């Protein structure tokens, strides 16, 4: 017993050898553990770690991703979205692509060349004449016509005085229409035995064949100049239809006082005398004046507005003419001063203006 309790003393060599063996055993155990760990399967990430971890995809990889693969990702997404929803997102791009392809095909095809040109609304010029005025040629590209739309309309208007407007419209694939609006015919201009049409804008055009019905329905200006005819028709077009429909024949009756005095014969038997320059202002009052007349009369609008029977008015004219003739045959002795001048002026005005003589 004493021998067991007695502590064995080790020599320095024995201590060093024991430490070496202990270290060697520890290294062997460590190596065994590492080999065992290598043989075991790799530990799987948790679901939370896997989907919470930020995805790191380089920009270069995104750019180089094939287009087909990108389209595939739109249809088969990780969230399994319906195909219809992806199509809704893609339709603007698909539409642009389809339009681009169709447009390109149209531009290079024969359909992009003009196929036909027709006109509507033209009553005096033929469709062939209007087409010639457009300078459009067979084989012209539709884009040329579309781009010069305003110029083509202007060419038509300049070529034909009767045409007020010409609206060019396009109908796919290559058909064009010109919607023509013409100035209406307002009256006839008579020069000698010749008649010409005066349009509502004052333009004068030749009438190859006189229409008797038109002569009855439209006013006739007798021996007016082109400028006077234009001035008359511009004022005429401002009148109400009730007044316009009454006018038949218009003649010039200038006086020393009113150089542009005109006489207008009315269908109701009356006659209106009015300065051409004041026609649009004074003639509208004719309706109210005519309603008060009981016999064919002359409505004088030279200075103010008054009416006299045709017989009385003609008598005043005849009396004024007689006085003028007598004074020209028997000239008065020369008078001195302003009294002679004033007398001559008064006589001349009375002869020229039957209104004053009638009063």
- If you average pLDDT over residues 197-219, what whole number do you get? 87
The fraction of the chain above a pLDDT of 90, given in percent, is 44
Residue with tokens 């030749």: 206
Residue with tokens 């005849």: 318
Of 224, 293, 303, residue with least CA distance to 262: 224
The percentage of the chain sitting over the pLDDT mark of 70, rounded to a whole number, equals 75
pLDDT tier at 63, thresholds 50, 70, 90: very low
Q: How confident is the model at residue 286 (pLDDT cuts 50, 70, 90)?
A: very high
What residue has token string 């649009």?
280
Predicted confidence at residue 81, as pLDDT, reads: 55
The radius of gyration of the chain's CA atoms, rounded to the nearest angstrom, is 54
Mean pLDDT of the 73-88 span: 60
Q: What local confidence, expressed as pLDDT, does residue 120 receive? A: 94
The answer on pLDDT for 281 being more than 70 is yes
pLDDT in tens, 330-358: 765 554 444 333 333 333 333 334 333 33
Q: Judge whether 226 and 208 are in contact, CB under 8 Å.
A: no
Least confident of 34-48, 156-170, 186-200, 305-319: 34-48
Distances (CA, A) of 294 to 131, 263, 291, 312, 324: 57, 20, 8, 14, 32
Q: What is the mean pLDDT of the chain?
A: 79
Q: Using one digit for the tens of pLDDT, what is the confidence trace for 89-128?
A: 777 877 887 777 776 776 677 778 888 889 999 999 999 9
Instruction: List the domains of the chain with CATH numbers.
Output: 74-108 (no CATH), 111-182 (3.10.20.310), 185-314 (3.40.50.10960)
What average pLDDT does the segment 207-211 reach?
Answer: 75
Burial class of 174 by CB neighbour count within 10 A (0 to 12, 13 to 18, 19+): buried
The pair of structure tokens assigned to 179 is: 């919607």
pLDDT tens digits for range 257-278: 999 999 999 999 999 999 999 9
Residue 61 predicted with pLDDT over 60: no
3-state SS, the chain, equals: CHHHHCCCCCCHHHHHHHHHHHHHHHHHHHHHHHHHHHHCCCCCCCHHHHHHCCCCCCHHHHHCCCHHHHHHHHHCCCCCCCHHHHHHHHHHHHHHHHHHHHHHHHHHCHHHECCEEEEECCCCCCHHHHHHHCCCCCCCEHHHHHHCHHHHHHHHHHHCCCEEEEEEEEECCCEEEEEEEECCEEEEEEECCEEEEEECCCCEEECCCCCHHHHHHCCEEECCCHHHHHHHHHHHCCCCHHHHCCEEEEEECCCCCCCCEEEEEECCCCEEEEEHHHHHHHHHHHHHHHCCCCCCEEEECCCCCEEEEHHHHHHHHHHHHHHHHHHHHCCCCCCCCHHHHHHHHHHHHHHHCHHHHHC
- Residue 138, CA atoms < 13 Å, CB-side half-sphere: 0
> Which pLDDT does position 340 carry in this prediction?
34
Q: Which of 93-107, 143-157, 191-205, 244-258 has the lowest mean pLDDT?
A: 93-107
Tell me what the mean pLDDT of segment 70-76 comes to.
56
| Cα four-point dihedral sign 73, 75, 76, 78 | positive
94 versus 294: the higher-pLDDT residue is 294
User: What whole-number distance in Å separates Cα of residue 217 and Cα of residue 215?
Assistant: 6
pLDDT of residue 345: 34
Give the H or E element holding residue 333. none
Residue 146 above 50 pLDDT? yes
Residue range 207-231: mean pLDDT, rounded = 89
């Amino acid at each position: 017993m004493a021998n067991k309790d007695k502590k064995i003393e080790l020599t320095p060599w024995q201590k060093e050898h024991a430490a070496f063996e202990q270290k060697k055993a520890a290294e062997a155990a460590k190596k065994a553990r590492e080999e065992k760990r290598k043989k075991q399967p790799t530990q799987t990430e948790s679901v939370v770690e896997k989907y919470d971890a930020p995805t790191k995809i380089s920009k270069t990889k995104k750019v180089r991703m094939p287009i087909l693969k990108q389209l595939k990702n739109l249809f088969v997404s990780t969230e399994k979205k319906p195909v219809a929803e992806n199509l809704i997102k893609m339709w603007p791009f698909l539409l642009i692509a389809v339009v681009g392809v169709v447009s390109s095909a149209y531009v290079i095809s024969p359909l992009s060349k003009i196929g036909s040109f027709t006109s509507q609304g033209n009553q005096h010029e033929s469709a062939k004449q209007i087409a010639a005025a457009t300078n459009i040629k067979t084989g012209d590209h539709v884009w040329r016509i579309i781009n010069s739309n305003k110029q083509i309309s202007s060419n038509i208007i300049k070529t034909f005085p009767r045409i007020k407007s010409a609206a060019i419209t396009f109908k796919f694939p290559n058909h064009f229409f010109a919607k023509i609006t013409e100035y209406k015919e307002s009256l006839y201009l008579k020069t000698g035995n010749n008649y010409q049409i005066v349009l509502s804008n004052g333009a004068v055009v030749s009438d190859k064949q006189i229409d008797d019905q038109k002569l009855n329905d439209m006013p006739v200006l007798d021996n007016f100049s082109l400028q006077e005819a234009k001035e008359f028709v511009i004022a005429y077009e401002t009148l109400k239809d009730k007044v316009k429909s009454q006018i038949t024949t218009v003649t010039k009756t200038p006086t020393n006082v009113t150089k542009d005095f005109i006489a207008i014969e009315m269908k109701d038997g009356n006659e209106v005398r009015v300065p051409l320059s004041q026609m649009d202002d004074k003639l509208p009052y004719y309706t109210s004046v005519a309603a008060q007349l009981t016999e064919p009369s002359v409505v004088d609008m030279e200075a103010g507005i008054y009416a006299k029977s045709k017989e009385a008015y003609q008598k005043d004219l005849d009396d004024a003419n007689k006085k003028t003739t007598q004074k020209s045959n028997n000239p008065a002795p020369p008078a001195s001063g302003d009294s002679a001048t004033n007398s001559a002026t008064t006589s001349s005005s009375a002869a020229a203006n039957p209104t004053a003589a009638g009063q």
